[in-house]
Structure 1
Amino acid sequence: MKDIIQALAATGDEIYAKICEVLEVDGENKTANLRPLDGTADILDAYLVTDDANGSMYLEPAKGSLVCVVFISKQIACVVNPSELKQFRIKIKNVEFQMDQDGFLLKKESETLKKLMGDLIKEIRMMKFTTNTGSTIQLVNDPQFSLIEDRFKKFLKD
């Protein structure tokens, strides 16, 4: 897509924009079908992201929301500035941040914040200490750690 944009920029085609309603989103192909508010023909397969493989910002608009669509040429359109999001994601090399109605994902390589916090709480709950009379066998505030762990599970996603 990046190469297409660069090639089209050299053609001198005029770039213009329209406001549209989102009819449907194809999350796999990262495109959307749109209905312009000016009554012109529907726009099919408008791009939601330009270069997803190499790091990008992905804004998935909610169905029925309004978006601004920028035409790079008469055949190629890109969605910008959605009025309502279903998902937001930003990737920079091997680091990813994602947000949707289910929570947040913060990931670096194969490590996620949720897994890291879960492992930390698990190890805290299994801590043992040596005292003058022997080792402790029960974490007195274990129920509080369990509640905190549940809160993280609801806040963060895999």
Structure 2
Amino acid sequence: MSLDKLKQTINELIKGNIPIQTVWVTVSEVDWEERTMTAVGIDDEVEFFDVLLGLGSVDLKPKIGSDCLIGIIENQSTSSFILTANELEEIDVVVEECQLNINKGFLLKKENETLAKLMSDLLKEIQKMKFTTNTGSTILLVNKPQFLEIENRFKDFLKTD
């Protein structure tokens, strides 16, 4: 099923025109590039292929071996998508030109700018600051080591891509 057809079907689901079934499954394989997974039903061991990891704006990457709840449209296993998972490796949210990605750190991006790059640039400029006093300009930022420590903390916390 194409993404456009699936979105149209989801809209019909919301209106209550199409029945949806939910099934608990265990993840056996994840293809993050294609945004699909393969899973096996917990109760009946039925295998589900090409389960969508999202509908284009919020994608969930479940951990292999984790339990997930999937939705099946019109009782057709070829029209299934993830609803939730008990263990995730990554979450990717895209809203127009903005992106939030969580995976061993945080990526907050708007168009070509990231929060990590902005913070790094700000801290570098703070470390270059000089002030004119009544005896001339300052030549040394006394608390530069603290700014370097803060910069490293941001690098550990935020991702650049």
- TM-score, normalisation: structure 2: 0.88
Which residue of 128, 132, 136 maps to 2:134?
Answer: 132
1:37 alignment partner in structure 2: 42
Which residue of 115, 118, 121 maps to 1:113?
Answer: 115
Cα drift, residue 28 of structure 1: 0.4
Root mean square deviation, CA, Å: 1.7
Check if 1:25 corresponds to 2:27.
Answer: no
CA distance, structure 2, for counterparts of residue 134 and residue 33 of structure 1: 68
Q: Point out the more displaced range, 117-126 or 1-10.
A: 1-10
CA distance, structure 2, for counterparts of residue 38 and residue 13 of structure 1: 24
Whichever residue aligns with residue 23 of structure 1, its letter is S
Which residue of 84, 97, 105 maps to 2:100?
Answer: 97
2:145 alignment partner in structure 1: 143
Instruction: Tell me the secondary structure at the aligned position of residue 88 of structure 1.
Output: strand
1:59 alignment partner in structure 2: 60
Q: After superposition, where does 1:45-84 map in structure 2 within 5 Å?
A: 45-50=50-55, 52=56, 56-73=57-74, 74=76, 75-84=78-87
Instruction: Tell me the secondary structure at the aligned position of residue 81 of structure 1.
Output: strand
- TM-score, normalisation: structure 1: 0.89
Structure 1 segments, 4+ long, off by >4 Å, are 7-10
Instruction: Tell me the secondary structure at the aligned position of residue 38 of structure 1.
Output: coil
Count, aligned residues = 152
Whichever residue aligns with residue 20 of structure 2, its letter is I
Instruction: Tell me the secondary structure at the aligned position of residue 65 of structure 2.
Output: coil
CA distance, structure 1, for counterparts of residue 115 and residue 7 of structure 2: 35
- Identity, in percent, stands at 41
Whichever residue aligns with residue 31 of structure 2, its letter is D
CA distance, structure 2, for counterparts of residue 23 and residue 89 of structure 1: 20
What are structure 1's unaligned runs of at least 5 residues?
none
Cα drift, residue 123 of structure 1: 0.2
